[in-house]
Amino acid sequence: MQKMQVGVLGAGTWGIALARMLCNAGNSVTVWSAIEKEIDNLSDTGRHPSFLDVELPKQIVYTKDISEACLGMDILVFAVPSPFVRETARKAAPYITDGQIIVDVAKGIEAETLYTMTEVIADELKNPKVKLVALSGPTHAEEVIKDLPTAITSASNDAKAAETVQKLFNVGCMRVYTNDDVRGVELCGALKNVIALSCGIAAGLGCGDNTKAALITRGIAEISRLGTAMGCREQTFGGLAGIGDLVVTATSMHSRNNRCGILIGQGVAVDKAIEQVGMVVEGINALPAAIKLAQKYTVEMPIVETVAAVCNGGTPVSKAIEMLLSRELKSELSSSAFNHS
């Protein structure tokens, strides 16, 4: 594939892991961050503070000027946390041109609008000639930075854009598949973080692998039930962006959502747990939108609702598992495998 000019907006762990991978594949990569100290540190040391044992390619360009990361780029990667996607799109808008492909790797849903991240970007740019792609799947930055094998989904309504991103990112350790169910892929990416929180909370309470397996299985049922009510394809939820990403997020200590949940289960206050994790916990950010979506589409999501009740202080964490176990008994089998939770 022809080498490309790539701008990465965001210098967190995921943005830097992708920047390194794309640069090592021979692409020209420029990284921007709104946090000037991040750019200074990367420029001075050639290393990310979370990956001090990894020397980054010297060819990566670091900039504090967002126009430099946008103008003339074939691909723009939005790698900022979900609460900052709209603000970043607003800053970048004057420098984004027709035909550019924007790849969003943030996972979240905006609470006020209930937009997914590509919808937020589209709403801010208001340019139908920009091509939007959601890149999502079971991909811990801590493993991608070490070139450990993984697979991911490139989702877009524009088949050519999805295939371009597929070819660009299908290098080294990463295998990429395409999917045209953009909303389903993005819904999975946001809501799996909430289910991962539930698994962490259960572990913090002293529950075992059986509990985690039950929460993962019934959790993907909840996400799928909501997604199909929103017009998404059920098959998406059994794929990489769905059960694949949920499994890795709910079972790994690389997962900040899992770690935050463990602390909450151990009795640490939510704000203190987030502080101890030391990074954005997207599952907490996704909760308001998840509850609103469940209400809007009249979909029962007991695990999500229980996590929200615990995190909002309305339910003691010690009662969380009891609340789920004492629900009305139901059949697992129905016209759709995902109809009941």
Domain ranges for the chain, please list them: 5-180, 190-325
Q: pLDDT category, 264, cuts 50, 70, 90?
A: very high
Contact 35, 62 (CB under 8 A): no
pLDDT top residue among 262 and 313: 262
CATH of 5-180, one of 1.10.287.810, 3.40.718.10, 3.90.1530.10, 3.40.50.720: 3.40.50.720
DSSP state of 243: I
Whether the per-residue pLDDT at 339 is higher than 90: the answer is no
What pLDDT sits at residue 335? 43
The rounded distance, in Å, linking the Cα atoms of 185 and 107 is 10
Question: What are the tokens at 302?
Answer: 């007991």
Average pLDDT on 229-256 reads 96
Q: Give the range among 169-183, 255-269, 322-336 with minimum mean pLDDT.
A: 322-336
Whether the per-residue pLDDT at 243 is higher than 50: the answer is yes
What pLDDT sits at residue 334? 59
CATH architecture of the domain 190-325 equals Orthogonal Bundle (1.10)
Distances, alpha carbon 53 to alpha carbons 56, 102, 131, 146, in Å: 10, 30, 36, 10
- Reply yes or no on whether 192 is catalytic: yes
Cα torsion angle, 232, 243, 140, 57, sign: negative
Average pLDDT on 273-280 reads 93
End-to-end CA distance of the chain: 45
**Which residue of the set 37, 107, 126, 192 is catalytic?**
192
Q: pLDDT category, 338, cuts 50, 70, 90?
A: very low
